Structures are given as C-alpha cells and as structure tokens.
Chains A and B, each alone.
Chain A
Amino acid sequence: MEQRPVRIAVDIGGTFTDLQIFDARQGRVVAWKTPTTPADPSEGLLVGVRESAERFGFALADVGLLLHGTTIATNAVLERKLARGVLLTTAGFEDVLEITRHFRRDLYGLAPDPFPCLIGRNLRFGVPERVRADGSVELPLGDLAPVLEKLKAAKPEAIAIGLLHAYANPAHELALAEAVGAALPGIPISLSSEISPEIREYERLSTTVLNAVLMPVVQNYLARLETRLGEGGFSPRIFLVQSNGGMCSLARAAAQPARLLLSGPSGGALAAERLSRRLARPNLVAVDMGGTSFDVSVVQDHRIGLVTQGEVDRLPVRLPMVEMRTIGAGGGSIAAVDASGRLTAGPRSAGARPGPVCYGRGGTLPTVTDANAVLGRLDPDFFLGGAMALDIGAARHAVAEHVGAPLALNVEAAAEGVLRVTNVQLASAVRLSLFEKGLDPRDFSLLSFGGAGGLHATDVADELGITEVILPREPGTLSAYGILFSELVQDLARSRLLRAEPDALPEIEAAIATLREEAVARLVADGVPEDQRATEISADLRYHGQAFELLVPWPEAPDLPALLARFHETHRARFSYAAEEEKVEIVTLRMSAIGRLPKPAETSGTAADKPATPGSRKVSQGGVAAPWPVWRREALHASDVVQGPAIVEEAFATHVISAGWQARLDPEGALIARRTA
C-alpha cells in the first residue's frame, strides 16, 4: 500500500518531541529528539522531521507514513481549552452530567471540590422523547422548535447529543442530529450512539461530551498540520495514535477525538508488546517512571491488555484503552514525615518547576531524586548527559531536615528510607495491576523505562519476587519506537443485554454480521487492501446480576460453549471462583477492525566493538559508602558483565543494578539484569 521507503513515528511530549525513523533501504531504526513547541506542536514536529532528514540522509519526499502520537486532546481537557459545547439530552435528565455517579474518593476530606463538568447547566437542554431499554419507542421525538431556538441562542461551537438508551436504538439521536444540522449548519455534532454505544448513561454522556468539546480543538490542530504538508515534497499519509494503541486516519480522529484522549501511554505499551516479541519474553510488566508519575501496563502472551473505560481529570472516558495503572510517584515526588511519624513519598510532587532540590531551581522540599542524589546513585556532573549539575549539598540538607531529623536517622539512612518507601509503592501498583488479572509477578519480567525507571527497577523487582529486569535501549524515545510498529485499529461495540444461550444465537450472529459489515466499510474507507484486513471479536460477559463485565476474546465466534468456557476460566483466574451452573449474560459485543501496516524488518541493536572499562563512584548503602563500578551504556560490549552493585549511565537515564543482580547486553541492545543470588 505504501511504496515510499521512510516511516516516521512521532511522540509529542510536554518537553520533547521524540522521533523514531525507519528507513527500509537500510532496514535501520534511528532516533531523534527536538524541543516541543507548545503553541503549535505541529511546528516542532516539522522541525524534527527536517532535522532528522538532514542528519540521517533521506529526502522529505521519501517519507510515506507519519505515525503521530499526541497529547493535544488530553492537554486541552486538563487546561480546559475546549470549545463551548451544548448538550441535548432526554428531557428530565439534563443534570445527569453534573450529578455524575456521585460517590467520593476522599473519605475523610471536609472541603470537597465538585467533579468536573464540561457543559454547565445553562447549556444543557432537554428534548421530548423516550426510548426504552429494549429499543422500543415510548415517546416519539416531539416538537423540536423550542430546543432549536435555545440552541441557536446559545451560539455553540460544538454539540453533544446523548439520549437515554440510544445504545439500543439510535433513531432519535440520528433524527435529532439531522434537525440540528439543518438549523445550525457547520457546527460539529457528536452522538452518544456513535461515540460510546454502551449502557450506563453517565459514562456514555461524559465520553460524548468530551468528544464534542474536543472536536473543534483537534480539527484545528489537524488543519494546521495539513497545511504544513507539501513543503519540500513532504506529503506522507498521516495516522494518529488512539487510546487503544491502534492508529486511525485523520478523518476518524477529527470525528472522534475522544479516541485520542488516553493515548499518551499507548506508545510505551506498544513498545512493550513489540519488545516482548523481539526479546522472546511473552510476559512483561512494563513500568514507565518519569518526574511525576509511574505507569504500569501488562503484556501477557505477547499482548497488551485493553480495558473498556478510563478517565481523564476524573471524567470517565468509556472507550477501549490500553490497560494502564498510573500512580503519582516519580522522581519529583516529595518526601515528608507527618505528625504521627509516618514517612511518605508523594503524592505531592515538585514537578518540573521548582523540581528536586538538587536541580537548584528553587526547590526546598526533598524529593525521590534528591534521595538518589544524596546516596551517590546519580552523578552530580553527568546528569542529563552533563547538561545539568546537581547540588548535592542542598539535597543533603533538605533530606536531613525534613526526613532525617523527625525520624532520628542520619541523612543516608533517611534517603534510603525514602527510596524504600517509594519502591514499595511502585511494587504495590505493579502487584495490583497483575492481581486484577489473577497473575503472579514471578511469571513476569519487568520492563523498565522512563527517565527515573532504571534507578528503581531492580529494587522494585526484588519487592515483587521478579528475577529479570529489562532496560531497553533508548528508554527516552521508547514510546515513539512502539508507535513505529503499530497497526490501524478501530473499535466497534454494540450493547444489548443477551443471555449467552443457544436461543439468543440468531440475534448474536446478526449483531456480529452488522459489526463486521461496518468494520470492513471503515477499513475500505481508510484504504486498507483486502489482504491486510483483519477483524477480532470479543464480548463483555458477566454472571446474571453482576455489574462488571469481563472482556473475553471470542476468536471462535459464534461458538457459544467456547466463549462460556473462556469466561468461566477468566473469572476463576481473576476472582478465585467460577459459577459454571449460573446464567451468563452478554452485555456488549465488540469488534476490532485491524488494518495491518507492513512491518519493517528491523536490524538488531549495535554494541561497542571492544569490552568496556567501568569507572567508579562512592555510593552509600546500608550505612556504608563504598565504590561502585560505573559503566557507560554506549561503551558496553556483548562480553561485558555488569555485576551488581553497579551503575550504568546513559545520556537521559541512570540505572542501578543492585547487589545480587547481574546485567548483560542482549543482542537486541537491551540491557538485561538477572537475579543471581
């Protein structure tokens, strides 16, 4: 489908725009980094492409595919730079969006803030109509003139339509959209029956409203991006990364921007999936630790897990997304001792500004990074490849004052305490991610990346009983690497409560046929040739009466016994029991339409041509300061053995190989540490 030799993956982060470039002529993957341009990220993107074209010697006209990861939708929500939206909903239910599910998260707090609500009460209008749970119409769509008048007067930039039970019968939403489109031509409309056609009204409304108020924002961005095409012969086909880890076309992204909302961590998870195959490790738990957060995802049998709902800023987004647990623990997490003598690390963070005390940018409260610096685990003169000098004295002072003094510990013991408390939190997050699926950490390797990941990886593995840690090459641009190897994926779903019993089969088969038809139509629209199309079916199942469904793949569809057997087995694995005699319900049928992008044949990583000689630095542990070997990662040779305790440094990351661990370079270029004692 694409003949031009160069494929580029771009991941635009808050600080840097990361690129990974694959050139089929050499079969080689190279990386590039350029500063992000927050005002218009497409500018930095183009700069990065031009710089890398010059640096790696390809012409802009050689670029056939641009795979684009972006947090533009997420940032727009977090910063509330959103369109003025109006919500049309079933009359009597205008406040559902504001009422939310109304339980609180902070049990003992006395000063709660409301859950965010993106469309105020003055811009939510009721429509006379009523559809029932079985899709039948109780009250036909009534006179729309009054609501259209209100709508016009509201001068909306985006319109969300979400009616009760529209997942079961979208007719009223479609008719309403037509009337609204005629009355206010050119204003983008989002329908709940198209964005999230599943039962539970609040979650569906929330997702639809997010989609609506993002449409103008994302469409503007994509328009700017498109105007940059054509310069210097640069006219690749562009695809965007969705929350489900798959790519979608510009047209799809423009119509359903909510699908981009949780795509930030997708790249890392995709990279984990890719590495799981290249390194022949079917089970990986991938952890990405940066300055403020720690993201955990699980690769099982070479596949990343998906969930059907996530959230952004406490707003539910009910769309398939890469299963990811995020906790607020990172290098910038602040350590403190409270009135009861309890040592905590996070959730408060010093962020990028002022940042850790040792950065010397005005931070005064000790952070996890400061604890690492105090112990000598970070090189004060080679931090960020020498771009920043660390003020160790200031870090020591802060750790001693805020942690050491209240606990009556010396500064090194206090710093080690901060790291231990942090590592336990990281390990708890990993364990909970695995626990939810009934998995045992000991069956997994830990894949660690992100700027701060390598400092904690072997210790976190020890907490979990994991005996192998993988530190991939170029941990700083790993997300872009994952994006480079992704596919086009569109998720379709239909909610209808059905008994998983033979007499429901005709209805199930009809639903699958409809989904498949739509899936194929979408792949055709995206120009995917027939031999590169695939579809995957899954079902959300539960025992009659349960509220939560398990997503069960159904490759054998429509073989019901096979589906039920998988369901019971999954239920037992996750929840320690199965009830095979009980009735099972299908809540939602799902179809993934997959367009396979040709997989570049990537060559292996490169190692240095001769064994390395480590330097050394004094590191404190258990009250003893001893010299630890310090290795340069670029200088490592295949024959080098890094015996812990030791440190491995590279430009944007530092890795600690703890005592009892031994690390070597894998032929793929990953550094692999194993527990030896």
Chain B
Amino acid sequence: MKKKRAIENAVTYAVLIIISIIWLFPFVGLVLQSFRSYATEYGGMVNYLVPKSFSLDNYKFLFSGETNYVRWYANTLIIAFFVALFQTIIILCVSYALSRMRFTGRTFLMKFWLILGMFPGFLTMICLYFLLKQFGLTQEGAVPGLILVSIASSGMQYYVCKGFFDTIPKALDEAARIDGASRARIFVSMILPIIKPIIIYTALVAFMAPWCDYVFASYVAFGHDPSYNVAVAMTRWVWTNDYQGYFTRFCAGGVLISVPVTLLFMFLQKYYVEGVTGGAVKG
C-alpha cells in the first residue's frame, strides 16, 4: 500500500514537472532571445534557443529614440492607471446600488445590461470612433479617448463585485441606519473598508486589460504612431514583413512590459484568486 502511494506520487511529480516545463518554456525563450544581438547574430527567426553571445543591444535599441517605444510604454501605463482608478470607482458605485438598495427599475436595469452584454464589443467600433472624433479624441487624442471608452461602459462589469457585496450581511447596514447614518456614510465609512480585497481585485483586472488592448486601440489611434499603446505598436514588429529582424527587439520590449506587470500581479495574486473563485461560484 505504501509502495503504491510512493509510485503514484512519483508519477504525479513527473507530470507536474513536465507541465511546468511546457508552461515556462515560452517565457524562458522570450527572455533568452531578447539577449540575442542584432549585430553579431541575427534579430529574426533562428533555429536555436540560447543565443551564442549575450548582449543588451535590443534593450539599448528600445531606448535609443529610433522608435517611440518609451512613448508607447508611457501611453499604456497612463491608460492602465486611469482605467484602473475610474473603473474601480464606477464598479463599486454600481455594485453598492444594485446590491444594497431596492428601487424601481433595478431588475430592469440588470436585465437590460445583461442583454446589452450579449452584443459583441467591436460591433460599435465605427460609431464610437465617430463619437470620439467629435471631441478630438482620436489619433493625437487617442490616449484620453481610449480611457474614456474603457471607463464609460464599465458599469456593466459589476457581477463579481456585486456578488461580493451580497455576502456582507444587510443587518450591518440596518443597524447603522437605525443609528442615523445615511446611505452615503455607510458606503464610505463602513462598507468600503470591509471590501478591500474586492477593490484590489477590480483595480488589478482593470489595470491588466489595457496592456492587451489591440482592437480598439489600433482603430482609434490609427496612423498616429506617438499615441499607440504597446500592443498596437509592437504587434507590427511580429506581423509585418517590413520589420524583418525585429523579432528579438519584440522579445526585449515584451520582457520590459511583462516584468513589472507580472510582479504586480504576483504581489496581489491572493486577491486575484479570491475574486476569480468568488465570481465563479456566485455566477
């Protein structure tokens, strides 16, 4: 019996190690290839993983001013920061109202938003582009434009947050109301402190999304290089044939983006797991 358990565990370890290798391989490759020099070897595709000599050429290139990399990076960071800030505020407001208060039109609003959510997001692209253009928020103004679009409709993403609110006993609110506290007071000084985990989760998810935003960002900023975000700008280095040999530069740029985002994520992982599992269970 004991022997059987030992074999079982050995097999499990073997499987887990294989899984780990598969899952880590792309990241190891990304980092290794970012150190392959454009000058001494080749910046494009080669058939070996470990570069023959390590160099920081690709990283230097990114900061050399030959491209707008620093600008793209700053754009994305600005978008991510403001989206995280405002989206969290909006989602918290919506969740509180829908979870704690009962008013006419509440169920209608929830059903209506659910139906709206079934339309694919890019359907409205041309119309949104036109609206943004009216306010000068495309091309040169693409960064504030993207922030505006991301936060404007974020009220519909209240599900996880509201599910969390629902688990806080209502008796708490009622006791405070008997003591004469207003709804706003309860929200700010009682509820907000308890729901710190879900605030962090909401902000984290909102912060991560703009780093991958390709679709809308490419449409709104079209043709205006300085207002691209990293995803739009660097995708060209991989897709377009004009950029032969930019592959290792893409890797270097990718590493510089991934490291801070990944560290932040790992640091707040606990809250993320809590939010994701909570959201899944409550639907």
A complexed with B: no
